[in-house]
């Protein structure tokens, strides 16, 4: 049933590609063609998962908004920024905004943005860029038709079947990032998959970021919780890549998620994070947290207006800090359960918001960040259908970067080991779905149909024998045994399989190679910063 694969060792050849500009993105189909032609991917070995490294979403985008409705939402959100404005809770940020032309009144945190200013600012945001990993084979291209999956982030709790649901700790943190490293379909980590509360907050970022460099060789995230943490993260990322800060500034290597405090507020640490990251050419993912009926209007269109206003303000600010700084448009609009106020995810309303959000992001030619969400408390059918509906919407809606791709459950409160495996399987199915259908003459199989003729079967034909090992995606979890065999095996559910497989994957995990000089430099930096007390906290 299961198939655990060992990822290839990190490649040391090449120095990573340059960030693609619009021109090279337009040439993407041509590049795919050179790589083996339509459908060539189908014929690789099922155990070779490196084909999941670069995903291109070839299908046409689905739209929920007419061109007119798209403009209505666009204009309404510019009106919000112009007439209502946003509360900007950092004097330095207000100063920069005023310098750029925004309306800031003395003694007030409120900032209003002329629509022309917003449009002028966001115009310099790049439509595509590359995020650089310490292993260049794991660089990720952001924007255009690229589809990048990042692991669950920021859950306070962690769960597996044996251990139950518990507060996050370092051991579970490490296990989760090892799983992210293990599966090629997970292109980047996404922050701390779970918050390790057994590490003191003053030094937590030092231990966690150090782990992200040593236990994985993929791109990682840093939290924007004050300037010093941003600076430490930048230095750790620089050390991990073994490059100068100058090189890193032209090769984004770190990303941060900036959430507005909806409605219409940006808090100090978030604004500081934009300043630190954008000024150094690192990636900001500007994501309003607009739950319709709670922090945003109860109508999805209204919530989208507010999402768009907050996203555009944050994106504009990245460009005020540094023209051309890489930034993503984050969509996270969902609804709440109006009976209880509980957040709901993977709903029809969420699907609509994800797809409409993609139209907005494409209107501004800014890469689009989405999420694989659900609100289930366990690994039941709900966990699967809410996630599958999320994946449906973000795939059809043209998400470029999918945070919380694997392991997110309970509305983000819990990182689940079993859900991680379920998500990996579903993400791989999405990847296979997006692989173009092979329609070569050989695939059309006229000769095979001739050979078999009416009333026969294809089990033993040459056409089948030449292809059967790699013809179809082999799921990690789906139990396709017949009922009797399945009953004899003890009637395992998806939850049982996922529980077994995450442990097998952890056992198969291989730590990626790291230059000993880099490892030493990293250790020295972390030791020094710890001896300095890390970042002062008041507890």
- Residues between 480 and 499 with contacts to a second copy, criterion CB under 8 A: 480-483, 486, 491, 493-495, 498
What is each CA distance from 51 to 42, 142, 270, in whole angstroms? Answer: 9, 17, 36
# residues contacting a second copy (CB under 8 A): 125
Contact status: 302 vs a second copy (CB under 8 A): yes
- Asked if 334 and 349 count as a contact pair (C-beta separation under 8 A), the reply is yes
Tell me if residue 512 falls in helix, strand or coil: coil
CA distance 334 to 296: 10
List 7, 20, 85, 273, residue binding a second copy (CB under 8 A) = 85
Q: In terms of DSSP H, where are the helices of 164-297?
A: 170-182, 201-214, 227-241, 245-250, 268-279
CA 248 to centroid of chain Cα atoms: 21
β-strand partners of 292: 296, 335
CA distance 23 to 91: 39
List 112, 227, 463, 530, residue binding a second copy (CB under 8 A) = 463
Phi/psi of residue 325, each to 5°? -60, 135
Contact status: 140 vs a second copy (CB under 8 A): no
List 14, 455, 490, 516, residue binding a second copy (CB under 8 A) = 455
- Least Å distance, CB 474 to a second copy, is 8
Q: Which 16-55 residues touch a second copy, going by CB under 8 A? A: none
Contact status: 342 vs a second copy (CB under 8 A): yes
Binding map of a second copy across residues 392-431, x = CB under 8 A, - = no contact = x---x-------------x--xx-------x--xx--xx-
- Asked if 47 and 281 count as a contact pair (C-beta separation under 8 A), the reply is no
E strand or H helix at 221, and its extent? strand 220-221
- Least Å distance, CB 196 to a second copy, is 20
List 21, 246, 380, 504, residue binding a second copy (CB under 8 A) = 380
Binding map of a second copy across residues 318-337, x = CB under 8 A, - = no contact = -----------------xxx
Tell me if residue 167 falls in helix, strand or coil: strand
Contact status: 445 vs a second copy (CB under 8 A): yes
The tokens for 301 are 């269109």
List 376, 505, 514, 522, residue binding a second copy (CB under 8 A) = 376
- Least Å distance, CB 130 to a second copy, is 27
SS (H, E, C) 48-81: CHHHHCCEECCCCCCCCCCHHHHHHHHHHHHHHH
Part in contact with a second copy (CB under 8 A); list of ranges 63-71, 113-121, 187-195, 228-236: 63-71
Q: Which 259-288 residues touch a second copy, going by CB under 8 A? A: 261, 263-265
List 106, 459, 507, 538, residue binding a second copy (CB under 8 A) = 459
List 161, 467, 500, 503, residue binding a second copy (CB under 8 A) = 467
Binding map of a second copy across residues 349-368, x = CB under 8 A, - = no contact = x-xx---x------------
Residue number with CB closer to a second copy (336 or 403) = 336
Q: What is the residue whose two structure tokens read 């319709």?
A: 292
Contact status: 462 vs a second copy (CB under 8 A): no
The packing angle between helices 170-182 and 417-434, to 10°, is 20
Pick left, alpha or beta for residue 14 (phi over 0 → left; psi -120 to 50 → alpha; otherwise beta). left
Contact status: 377 vs a second copy (CB under 8 A): yes
- Asked if 421 and 502 count as a contact pair (C-beta separation under 8 A), the reply is yes
Contact status: 512 vs a second copy (CB under 8 A): no
């Amino acid at each position: 049933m299961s198939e655990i694969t060992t990822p290839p060792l990190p490649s040391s050849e090449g120095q990573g590609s340059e960030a693609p500009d619009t021109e090279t993105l337009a040439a993407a189909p041509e590049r795919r063609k050179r790589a083996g032609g339509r459908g060539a991917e189908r014929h690789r070995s099922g155990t070779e998962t490196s084909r999941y490294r670069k995903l291109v979403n070839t299908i046409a985008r689905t739209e929920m908004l007419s061109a007119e409705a798209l403009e209505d939402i666009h204009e309404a959100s510019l009106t919000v920024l112009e007439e209502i404005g946003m509360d900007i809770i950092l004097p330095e940020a207000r100063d920069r905004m005023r310098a750029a032309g925004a309306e800031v009144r003395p003694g007030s945190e409120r900032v209003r943005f002329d629509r022309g200013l917003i449009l002028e600012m966001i115009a310099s945001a790049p439509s595509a860029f590359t995020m650089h990993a310490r292993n260049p084979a794991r660089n990720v291209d952001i924007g255009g038709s690229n589809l990048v999956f990042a692991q669950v982030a920021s859950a306070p709790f962690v769960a597996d079947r044996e251990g139950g649901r518990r507060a996050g700790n370092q051991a579970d943190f490490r296990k989760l990032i090892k799983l992210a490293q293990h599966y090629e379909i997970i292109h980047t980590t996404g922050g701390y998959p779970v918050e390790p509360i057994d590490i003191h907050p003053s030094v937590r970022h030092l231990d966690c970021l150090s782990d992200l460099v040593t236990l994985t060789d993929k791109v990682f995230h840093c939290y924007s919780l004050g300037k010093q943490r941003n600076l430490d993260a930048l230095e750790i990322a620089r050390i991990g890549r073994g490059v100068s800060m100058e090189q890193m500034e032209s090769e984004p290597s770190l990303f941060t998620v900036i959430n507005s405090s909806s409605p219409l507020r940006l808090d100090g640490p978030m604004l500081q994070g934009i300043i630190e990251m954008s000024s150094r050419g690192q990636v900001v993912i500007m994501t309003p947290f607009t739950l319709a009926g709670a922090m945003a209007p109860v109508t999805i269109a209204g919530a989208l207006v507010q999402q768009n206003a907050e996203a555009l303000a944050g994106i504009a600010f990245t460009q005020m800090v540094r023209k051309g700084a890489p930034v993503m448009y984050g969509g996270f609009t969902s609804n709440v359960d109006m009976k209880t106020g509980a957040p709901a995810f993977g709903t029809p309303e969420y699907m609509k918001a994800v797809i409409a959000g993609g139209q907005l992001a494409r209107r501004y030619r800014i890469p689009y960040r989405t999420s694989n969400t659900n609100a289930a408390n366990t690994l039941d059918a709900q966990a699967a259908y809410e996630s599958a509906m999320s994946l449906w919407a973000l795939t059809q809606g043209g998400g470029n970067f999918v945070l919380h791709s694997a392991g997110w459950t309970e509305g983000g409160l819990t990182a689940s080991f079993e859900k991680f495996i379920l998500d990996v399987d579903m993400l791989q199915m999405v990847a296979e779905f997006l692989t173009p259908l092979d329609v070569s003459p050989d695939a059309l199989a006229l000769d095979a149909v001739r050979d078999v003729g009416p009333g026969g079967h294809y089990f033993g034909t040459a056409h089948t024998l030449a292809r059967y090992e790699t013809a179809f995606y082999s799921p990690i979890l789906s139990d396709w045994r017949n009922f009797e065999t399945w009953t004899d095996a003890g009637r395992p559910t998806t939850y049982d399989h996922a529980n077994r497989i995450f442990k097998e994957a952890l056992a198969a995990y291989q730590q990626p190679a790291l230059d000993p000089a880099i490892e030493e430099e990293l250790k020295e930096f972390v030791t020094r910063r710890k001896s300095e007390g890390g970042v002062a906290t008041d507890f």
